[in-house]
Amino acid sequence: MISNRKIKERNQRKLTILEGSLRVFNELGIEKTTMDEIAHESGFGKATLYYYFTSKDDVFIYIMEHGWKQLWEGIESRVVEN
């Protein structure tokens, strides 16, 4: 069984990768971005990056899902308030 601490650490690593990949995608564009650049910008080795994501496309999908989730949660909270 995975402890709550381990789950939090994994989630934090994924968020760190997300932030790094956003910077690289913004600077180079999606097509020119490589997993090497994402790993470097995120401060992790490629092995760690590939542990969490299988490809650059997988990273991009995670960014999109995370963004939509945040947007939806913001909308939901406003609906509940009203």
Quick: pLDDT tens for 8-25: 999 999 999 999 999 999
Residue 33 falls in which region: left (phi positive, over 0), alpha (psi -120 to 50) or beta: beta
Q: What is the pLDDT of residue 82?
A: 66
Give domain limits for the chain: 4-81
35-74 confidence digits (pLDDT tens) = 999 999 999 999 999 999 999 999 999 999 988 888 887 7
Residue 11 identity (one-letter amino acid):
N
Structure-token pair, residue 49: 């990056």
For helices 56-81 and 4-28, the axis angle rounded to 10 degrees is: 110
Residue 80 has pLDDT above 90, yes or no: no
For helices 35-42 and 4-28, the axis angle rounded to 10 degrees is: 120
Quote the CATH superfamily of domain 4-81: Homeodomain-like (1.10.10.60)
